[in-house]
Amino acid sequence: MIDLHCHILPSVDDGSDSLETSVEMCRIAYRDGITHVVATPHANFEYRYDREAHRLRLEELQRQVPELHLLLGCDLQLSFENFTDALENPGRYTIGNTRYLLVELSEYGVPRATLDALYRLHQAGLITIVTHPERNPMLSRRFELLREMVGMGSILQVTANSLTGFWGQEARRSAEKMLKSGLVGIIASDAHSPSGRTPVLSWARDAAAGMIGAQAAGRLVEDYPAMVLADKPIEMPDAEY
């Protein structure tokens, strides 16, 4: 399996608080059957994103866990400054050297300019992966916005432990509805620690298999994430509109 969204770099945001914690998270991921992890530090008003400094931390962590393949990305919040810089310097934020960019929306609302911002990122040659939409109460009630995002080329990424109830029943039901509607392209951990928000995908894969079948669930943690790392377009079956 491949985890495209993980706050595994030490002491850079609200994720891992030390190198030792990061190593423990990596070993948990490896035991779970994960082969590749993308480190995705926040880029928002609270946490400054320094690609070069993060790369050096990633290299240090990689030396500690050679059994895993580690790559660098980011969890980009669409603030004005970050958005403008992403348009001008996309390689500063994307997953590795790909066109894929994780975009974090607010968990409390969806600004009117969000769809336009996603469209402009796509026009600049990027492919956006919208993170944890199931945890946004507005999106849970307005699936037409999700369908618009998917229709314009965004990939929706559901958090693994939303499917197991960690984020509450509303998020679980929303994630299940998204899965059954064919709107989800990626399941990722969004892990922040060795406990609670853990770098584990197998439980969510198995939960998803009970909803959409084992083959379809496997695509969300194996095939589609592998296409992202290879910088290939993801061709999903048509969603149920």
Long-range contacts (CB closer than 8 Å, 24 or more residues apart) made by 96-99:
96/38, 96/71, 96/72, 96/229, 97/231, 98/228, 98/229, 98/230, 98/231, 99/125, 99/126, 99/127, 99/231
More confident residue, 130 or 236: 130
Edge-to-edge strand order for the sheet containing 184-188? 42-43, 75-77, 100-104, 127-131, 155-159, 184-188
User: How much is the average pLDDT of 165-176?
Assistant: 93
Are the beta carbons of 183 and 140 closer than 8 angstroms?
Answer: no
CATH code of the region 2-229: 3.20.20.140
- Dihedral over alpha carbons 15, 21, 24, 26 (to 10 degrees): 40
pLDDT at 80 over 80: no
Map out the domains of the chain as residue ranges. Answer: 2-229
User: How much is the average pLDDT of 8-35?
Assistant: 98
Percentage of the chain lying above the pLDDT 90 cut? 83
pLDDT at site 236? 80
CA distance 179 to 175: 6
Type of residue numbered 212: I
Q: Which residue has the tokens 């037409």?
A: 144
- The residue among 159, 104, 97, 105 whose CA lies nearest residue 126 is 97
pLDDT at site 241? 42
